[in-house]
């Protein structure tokens, strides 16, 4: 399959879905309504980096990209009476545990993370018929995650975790070329005395028709991301294209090799 056609393939997978979205009294749809949204963010986070962040009880984080969430770009807790019920996704448990784990709170009941994602974001995404139940929301997120296949693409592109430093602009370029859209890439900024940022999260954006689209906004159209999605750990920020980026393979590798970094600039 040609990379540039990937987003059309994803759209084709959902061709049986109506292009109309919910306009019920429960979810009024107008540009002025506080819960009206335009796009979805499918956020992948790198568990090893997540475990380098603020206090947590990470234990043996997966060394593959996992799901952080599927977030509308506007609105939070759109229906506070629609509580999470884990029995509705019991047949998804195997995939949920593998691909959507609670990386930060390993010792807690993992369903608390999914409860948070549903009640904060899923109840807003549910304005779409294809996402209007807990089963649909979680199963479709898993399906999009598999279709994007970020883990597989990065490996094929030769972008692997370890001691190698990469140019941020180069990573963004290969992702954009392959997927045909511009994702949002977030990093941990360099610590004091260091010059490399750490790769932490990659987000892909979808239209309401579940077609890949750019995460960046056209000129003149303000982004709602920063004002309405206060869900990302504050330590992460959009990566700096001019700085080298570290893609860590193990949590213990907190202090990076100065020799490796020196070689990067030579």
Instruction: Please state, as a whole number, how many other Cβ atoms lie within 10 Å of the Cβ of residue 133.
Output: 15
Q: What kind and span of H or E run contains 257? A: none
d(CA 195, CA 64): 25
Instruction: Report phi then psi at 121, rounded to 5.
Output: -115, -40
Q: Which residues contact 137 (CB under 8 A, 6 or more apart)?
A: 70, 118, 122, 125, 126, 131
Would you state the structure tokens that stand for residue 209, as one six-digit string? 């028709």
Catalytic residue ranges: 68, 117, 121
d(CA 186, CA 171): 12
d(CA 47, CA 64): 7
Q: Which residues contact 198 (CB under 8 A, 6 or more apart)?
A: 49, 52, 187, 188, 245, 246, 247, 248
Distance of CA 129 to the CA centre of its chain: 22
The angle subtended at Cα 132 by Cα 127 and Cα 137, nearest 5°, is 110
Task: For strands 237-238 and 244-246, give the pairing.
Answer: unpaired
d(CA 82, CA 14): 26
Distance of CA 115 to the CA centre of its chain: 17
Residue entry with tokens 């009941």: 109
């Amino acid at each position: 399959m040609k990379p540039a056609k990937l987003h059309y393939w994803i759209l084709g997978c959902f061709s049986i879905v109506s292009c109309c979205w919910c306009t019920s009294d429960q979810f009024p749809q107008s540009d002025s309504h506080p819960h009206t949204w335009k796009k979805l963010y499918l956020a992948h986070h790198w568990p090893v980096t997540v475990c380098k962040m603020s206090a947590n009880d990470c234990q043996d984080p997966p060394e593959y990209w996992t799901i952080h969430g599927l977030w509308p770009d506007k609105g939070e807790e759109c229906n506070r009476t629609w509580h999470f019920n884990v029995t509705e996704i019991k047949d998804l448990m195997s995939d949920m545990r593998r691909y959507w784990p609670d990386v930060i709170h390993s010792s807690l009941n993992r369903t608390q993370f999914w409860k948070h994602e549903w009640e904060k974001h899923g109840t807003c995404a549910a304005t779409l018929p294809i996402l209007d139940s807990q089963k649909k929301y979680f199963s479709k997120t898993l399906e999009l995650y598999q279709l994007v296949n970020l883990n597989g693409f990065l490996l094929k592109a030769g972008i692997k975790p370890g001691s190698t430093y990469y140019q941020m602009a180069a990573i963004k370029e290969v992702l954009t070329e392959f997927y045909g859209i511009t994702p949002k890439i977030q990093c941990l900024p360099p610590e004091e005395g260091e010059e490399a940022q750490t790769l932490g999260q990659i987000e892909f954006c979808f239209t309401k028709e579940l077609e890949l689209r750019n995460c960046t906004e056209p000129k003149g159209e303000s982004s709602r991301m920063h004002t309405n999605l206060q869900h990302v750990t504050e330590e992460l920020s959009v990566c700096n294209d001019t700085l080298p980026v570290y893609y860590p393979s193990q949590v213990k590798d907190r202090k990076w090799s100065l020799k490796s970094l020196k070689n990067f600039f030579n």
